[in-house]
Structure 1
Amino acid sequence: MPVAIITGASKGLGRALAGALARRGWDLVVDARSAGPLEEAARELRGAGTRVVALPGDVTDGGHRAALVTAARQLGGLDLLVNNASALGAEPLVSLADQPLEGLRTALEVNVVAPLGLTQEALPLLRTSSYLSSYEEVMPYIEKTPYREEIDTNAAYDPYPYSENSQNSNLSDSPTYVGVSGAVLTISSDAAVEAYATWGGYGAAKAALDQQSAVLAVEEPGLRVWWVDPGDMRTDLYAAAVPDDDDSGRPLPETVVPALLWLLDRAARSGRYMAAAGRAVPAGRSPR
């Protein structure tokens, strides 16, 4: 069975995605800061007949991150790492003039440093995963030769071409291919690219996370690296950010899960995506 690590899995989008993967037969390693809600989620997940290791802890703790990866190794490996845990930096959100610097440090530590630390721990297992390799007949190039036509350019280097868009794919002197390994799915935000009043600290952290993901995609061409803006959701995080806002009309996290599964089912090329109508829509330029 494939194995996933999901951080922040006791509620919200993390729990919803964990449930969907469990129903597909995935084995899971899940974490959250609060032991009680995490164990409750784990019991529900085990009801699908899958193996679930629930490890309460803080993703900013290096020992905890190492324990998550060790648990995945004991389940047989790692095919998908989901960096979902997040911190606002101020609750409720405030303008940059009033942003607590310690809160910004916390947001950067949780949203940027911890995902990188966990990814570093997980890379040896992700590189040896073969879960996604069955999705492509032609694997991405190692060398900088394939190109993909874009809307606003004539031709631009594409390190993650689909097979039908690869140039020279049938020629005997084509560059060496590398197999597709595991995937890293990171939950981003539209606040990473849009300037919203009071969202400056959180948005800055998510923008850094986006850039970090883009560089990882270039440096690890054998992996799929997806950073996804899930759109508006009715979550505890949003309620803490803007407690006076009526979020009753916002979609539940479960409505976003099909878009995340869409990426997985298609072994979609690395890049930034937006969740929309049950699928993930590319947002912004691909890494190069």
Structure 2
Amino acid sequence: MNSKTALITGGSAGLGRALVAALADQGWQVVTDGRDAARLDLLRELPGAERITAIPGDVTAAGHRDALLAAVTDLGRLDLLVHNASALGPISGETRHRLLADTTPEDLQYVWRSNVGAPLVLTSLMLPVLAASNGVLLSISSDAAVEHYAGWGLYSASKAGLDHITLTFAAENDAITAYAVDPGDMRTQMHQDWFPGEDISDRPLPETVVPHLLALLASRPPSGRYRAADFPALRNGLRLAERAGA
């Protein structure tokens, strides 16, 4: 077992939960959060749950970010910071698909605070302890950050912004390595919310992406933007992913 520590935002569901489960099972100490306290509480059922510190809250709130820092400080180090928590789209109206011309200032503030502002200030807060461990900053991106899909403009722009600040942190800090990673389409509640009423069962489960992320972390290439699929899944990672999805 190792004594590494990770902070993963949005760990109550989807890819965040799968990564929390895999790292905890591998011996990492994991600090995570989520806005749904009931779902976050279910992390207690995972293998390695005794190594998981789950803190309910919204990463856009300063007090919550302070609580995350306190938890990391108590553990004494930070080797991996993962920005996984994300806002899908506008909060006003009946649909998340909205043309840029119809986007309201409130929509912009909501998505930008969640997808760009919170990762920016949380990274700044964690940077000293992350740099002390020569750690990794990993932001979950999307193909939407580089493609142009009608109705996705606000989300896409926020992911492009997240990519930019992630890699700029690495350019400004030689002690860390930073990755913006496109995980590919996944069968998650967030994805289903974007396509209400549609069958998304053809998308892979988020647990299948985790082995590729573990391979990325193991190989530690130079800072940059990558696709998770570019890194062959580690055999041990596949076992961990299967346990995470059990």
Separation in 2, partners of 1:92, 1:110: 15
For the pair 1:115 / 2:133, whether they are aligned, the reply is: no
Q: Give 1:36-115 correspondences, 5 Å limit.
A: 36-41=38-43, 43-45=44-46, 47-48=47-48, 50-90=50-90, 91-115=95-119
Structure 1 position 236, deviation (Å): 1.1
1:31 aligned residue: 33
Separation in 1, partners of 2:135, 2:153: 32
Gaps of 5+ in 2: 234-246
SS in 2 for 1:184: strand
1:177 aligned residue: none
Structure 1 position 52, deviation (Å): 1.5
1:262 aligned residue: 215
Separation in 1, partners of 2:207, 2:231: 10
SS in 1 for 2:12: coil
2:176 aligned residue: 223
Which is further off, 17-26 or 258-267?
258-267
Select 2:199's aligned residue among 243, 246, 250.
Answer: 246
Which is further off, 271-280 or 193-202?
271-280
TM-score in terms of structure 2 length: 0.88
Match for 1:68: what amino acid?
L
Q: Does structure 1 conserve the Cα–Cα contact (< 8 Å) formed by 2:216 and 2:231?
A: no
2:236 aligned residue: none
Measured on the aligned residues, the alpha-carbon RMSD in Å equals 1.5
Q: Does structure 2 conserve the Cα–Cα contact (< 8 Å) formed by 1:79 and 1:182?
A: yes
Separation in 1, partners of 2:24, 2:138: 17
219 and 63 in structure 1: CA distance in 2 versus 1, 3 angstrom threshold: same
Gaps of 5+ in 1: 130-180, 281-288
1:188 aligned residue: 141
Which is further off, 116-125 or 83-92?
83-92
2:237 aligned residue: none
Structure 1 position 212, deviation (Å): 0.9
Separation in 2, partners of 1:257, 1:275: 9
Deviations 1:155-197 (A, max 9, x none): xxxxxxxxxxxxxxxxxxxxxxxxxx01111001111100011
Structure 1 position 278, deviation (Å): 5.2
2:161 aligned residue: 208
Structure 1 position 229, deviation (Å): 0.6
TM-score in terms of structure 1 length: 0.76
Identity of aligned residues (%): 52
Q: Does structure 2 conserve the Cα–Cα contact (< 8 Å) formed by 1:31 and 1:56?
A: yes
Separation in 2, partners of 1:86, 1:12: 11
Structure 1 position 48, deviation (Å): 1.9
Separation in 2, partners of 1:278, 1:247: 24
Between the two proteins, the alignment pairs up a number of residues equal to 227
